[in-house]
């Protein structure tokens, strides 16, 4: 049989109807992701009383920036303080996380590292078995004395075993032993090999785990719930959580609420809450496209394992 010459690699290799079908499918999926957020934005721009009488709608019945002005007038200090904490934790945390993860992953990816097995298993065990919240709490508060410090928000998520495994595979796949060997022959030290040869080759992988880490830090509120007591260290997500929890508690314990009034902070209304959601989601959503180009290359754990 005569072979057809491959003239080009066809990217759009579906036929037209299939193409249309998948495009519609993806479009629906994309809409279902975006619509709720647009809805939140719409609510945040709706007049509070219009909300109570007409309910929610995609196009605000009565426009109002009250939600945002409320935030900037009433909660200004809190919001900006919290935003600062969140940004700080995300930046510092992501740096620490990606450094620690890539260092750890690199050594266990090198086949001539003697304790490779031990450290791989060590890492796997922490991934598979969790000691539970209370043990974590005791370590953080009693052993490390990190309660009420910024480190309590950073260190618990500084290394993720799953990311280490992903990165290890990535190093194995994208950095061949021969390249390291040739660098060694040219007289490069281990440090130089890592920084000048391996890291540039691994940029897509590192960018991907950095995004994971950044997302994790940005969205985390649980560590703050456990370890943070000081108002000045409350991150944005926890502030939001707190407001939401308070409202839920007060609506479910309506009986007590009349007596609660003394010493109770005024609860922000629906539109103000949605405004907080918008403020706390936008920055990380905006940073997405910058990581996106690495995402495509970086995410594979790898079909081929060496």
Partner 1 sequence: MKTWKKVIGLSTAVVLLGALTACGGGKGKTEGSSKKADENTLMMYQIGDKPDNYDALMETANKKIEEKTGVKLNIQYIGWGDYEKKMSVIVSSGENYDIAFADNYVPNAQKGAYADLTELAPKFAKDAYDQLDEAYIKGNLVDGKLYAFPVNGNVYSQQVLTFNKQYLDKYKLSIDNIKSYKDAENVLKTFHEKEPNIAAFAIGQGFKAQGDFDFPIGNGYPFAVDLNGDPKKIVNQYENKDFMDVLKTMHKWYQAGYIPSDAATSNTEFPLEGNTWFVRQETQGPYDYGDTILSNAAGQELVSKAFTTPLKSSDQARMANFVVSNTSKNKEKAVEVLGQINSDPELLNGLVWGIEGEAWEKIPGKEGKIKLLDGYKPNTHLPAWNTGNNKILYTQDTITDDMIKERDESIAKAETSPILGFNFVTSNVKTEMSNIANVMSQYLDGLNTGTVDPEETVPKLKEALVNAGYEKVLAEMQKQYDEFLKK
Pick between residue 76 and residue 196 the one whose CB is nearest to partner 1: 76
Pick between residue 128 and residue 134 the one whose CB is nearest to partner 1: 134
Q: Which stretch binds partner 1 (CB under 8 A): 7-15, 153-161, 252-260, 287-295?
A: 252-260
Least separation in angstroms between residue 263's CB and partner 1 is 4
Least separation in angstroms between residue 227's CB and partner 1 is 10
Q: Give the separation between CA 5 and CA 234, rounded to whole angstroms.
A: 63
DSSP structural state of residue 131: -
Least separation in angstroms between residue 225's CB and partner 1 is 6
Number of residues assigned to the chain: 306
Pick between residue 107 and residue 199 the one whose CB is nearest to partner 1: 107
Residues within window 172-201 making contact with partner 1, judged by CB under 8 A: none
The b/e string for 27-36 (b: 16+ C-beta within 10 A; e otherwise) is eeeeeeeeee
Q: Does 251 bind partner 1 (CB under 8 A)?
A: yes
Q: Does 74 bind partner 1 (CB under 8 A)?
A: no
Site string for partner 1, 122-161 (x = CB under 8 A): -----------xx--xx--xxxxx----------------
Q: Does 5 bind partner 1 (CB under 8 A)?
A: no
Q: Which stretch binds partner 1 (CB under 8 A): 9-17, 60-68, 253-261, 286-294?
A: 253-261
Alpha-carbon distance values, 111 to 114, 116, 166, 269, 306 (Å): 8, 7, 16, 59, 11
- Could you write out the three-class secondary structure of 3-55? CCCCCCCCCCCCCHHHHHHHHHHHHHHHHHHHHHHHHHHHHHCECHHHHHHHC
- By CB under 8 A, the count of residues binding partner 1 is 43
The burial class, CB within 10 Å (0-12 / 13-18 / 19+), for 9 is exposed
Q: Give the separation between CA 218 and CA 291, rounded to whole angstroms.
A: 15
Q: Does 285 bind partner 1 (CB under 8 A)?
A: no
Sole binder of partner 1 in the list 111, 258, 286, 289 (CB under 8 A): 258
Pick between residue 196 and residue 252 the one whose CB is nearest to partner 1: 252
- Answer for the pair 89, 232: CB distance below 8 angstroms, yes or no: no
In 3D space, the residue among 271, 268, 278 whose CA is nearest the CA of residue 43 turns out to be: 271
Instruction: List residues binding partner 1 (CB under 8 A).
Output: 52-53, 114-115, 133-134, 137-138, 141-145, 225-226, 229, 231, 241-242, 244-252, 254-267, 270
């Amino acid at each position: 049989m005569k072979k057809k010459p491959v003239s080009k690699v066809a990217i759009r290799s579906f036929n037209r109807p299939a193409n249309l079908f998948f495009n519609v499918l993806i479009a629906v999926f994309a809409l279902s992701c975006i619509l709720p957020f647009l809805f939140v934005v719409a609510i945040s721009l709706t007049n509070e009383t219009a909300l109570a009488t007409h309910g929610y709608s995609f196009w605000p019945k009565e426009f109002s920036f009250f939600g945002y002005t409320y935030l900037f007038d009433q909660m200004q200090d809190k919001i900006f303080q919290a935003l600062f904490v969140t940004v700080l934790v995300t930046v510092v945390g992501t740096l620490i996380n990606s450094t620690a993860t890539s260092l750890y992953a690199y050594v266990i990816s090198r086949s001539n590292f003697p304790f490779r097995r031990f450290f791989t298993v060590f890492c796997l065990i922490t991934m598979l078995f969790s000691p539970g919240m209370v043990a974590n709490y005791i370590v953080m508060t009693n052993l490390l004395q990190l309660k009420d410090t910024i480190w309590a928000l950073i260190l618990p998520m500084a290394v993720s075993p799953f990311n280490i495994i992903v990165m290890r595979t990535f190093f194995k796949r994208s950095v061949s032993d021969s390249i390291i060997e040739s660098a060694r022959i040219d007289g490069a030290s281990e440090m130089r090999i890592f920084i000048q040869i391996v890291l540039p080759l691994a940029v897509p992988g590192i960018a991907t785990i950095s995004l994971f880490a950044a997302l994790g830090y940005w969205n985390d509120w649980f560590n703050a719930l456990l370890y943070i007591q000081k108002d000045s260290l409350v991150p944005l997500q926890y502030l939001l959580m707190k407001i939401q929890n308070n409202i839920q508690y007060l609506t479910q314990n309506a009986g007590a609420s009349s007596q609660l009034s003394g010493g109770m902070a005024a609860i922000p209304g629906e539109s103000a809450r949605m405004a907080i959601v918008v403020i706390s989601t936008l920055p990380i959503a905006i940073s997405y496209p910058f990581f996106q180009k690495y995402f495509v290359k970086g995410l594979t754990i790898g079909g081929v394992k060496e």
